[in-house]
Chain A
Amino acid sequence: AQSVAQPEDQVNVAEGNPLTVKCTYSVSGNPYLFWYVQYPNRGLQFLLKYITGDNLVKGSYGFEAEFNKSQTSFHLKKPSALVSDSALYFCAVRDRRVYKLSFGAGTTVTVRA
């Protein structure tokens, strides 16, 4: 079985401040981890992924995430948030042996000017 937990429903930050969106996962084998972003009435856009190698992964729009195997976490970070980063963020995991993605409940990020 595989699952994802995003412990925060909402994250609010001021523009220019660091942004962190938390994600922990559970998977029986080795994980593939993903972050997606969803804007209102739109589909999901891929941000970044961890497959193997460097634990720090850099993605689109200045986002990065760190894979921590001991803590089973994959937190999303951005050093300086923009108002345009306001959206719904989803963490997802899949076991390397299967193709099915399991998503967290999502975290709504609001960046205030």
Chain B
Amino acid sequence: NAGVMQNPRHLVRRRGQEARLRCSPMKGHSHVYWYRQLPEEGLKFMVYLQKENIIDESGMPKERFSAEFPKEGPSILRIQQVVRGDSAAYFCASSPTDGNTEAFFGQGTRLTVV
């Protein structure tokens, strides 16, 4: 059973470009979470999704950021018109419907905006 797969591992974008980060949850997991980790900081919750539904997006910036988890395919975190402050590590986690099971994390995507 493969773990949570994130790609790309590293992404470099120029200011104003779009960044698309992908996350494939573990097999059998229907819950996906995105977190952002800024240098020297902890993990900040961004969004929680189930298939085709955004359940909690209280941590998402109001502009430029969006997330989806379609019926088929990976979850996507999209950042439009990136700025230098978006440079961070973005982690995806997944968990099954069973609420007692821990969330499993991917290796992260390190976004650098130049």
Residues of chain A having any CB pair with chain B under 8 Å: 32, 34, 36, 41-46, 49, 51, 90, 96, 98-106
Contacts and interface: CB of A to CB of B under 8 A. Distances in A.
Contacts of A106: 41-42
B48 A34 contact: no
Contacts of B93: 44, 101
A96 to B, nearest CB: 7
Interface residues of chain A: helix, strand, loop or mixed (majority)? loop
Contacts, number: 53
B33 A105 contact: no
B45 A43 contact: no
Contacts of B108: 42-43
Nearest to B3: A43
Classify chain B's interface size: 20 to 34
Interface of B: 4, 31, 33, 35, 41-45, 48, 55-56, 91, 93, 95, 99-100, 102-108, 110
Contact of B102 (A42, A49, A98, A102): A49
A103 B107 contact: no
Nearest to B56: A100
A46 B104 contact: yes
B106 A103 contact: no
A104 B42 contact: yes
A104 B44 CA distance: 9
Nearest to B4: A43
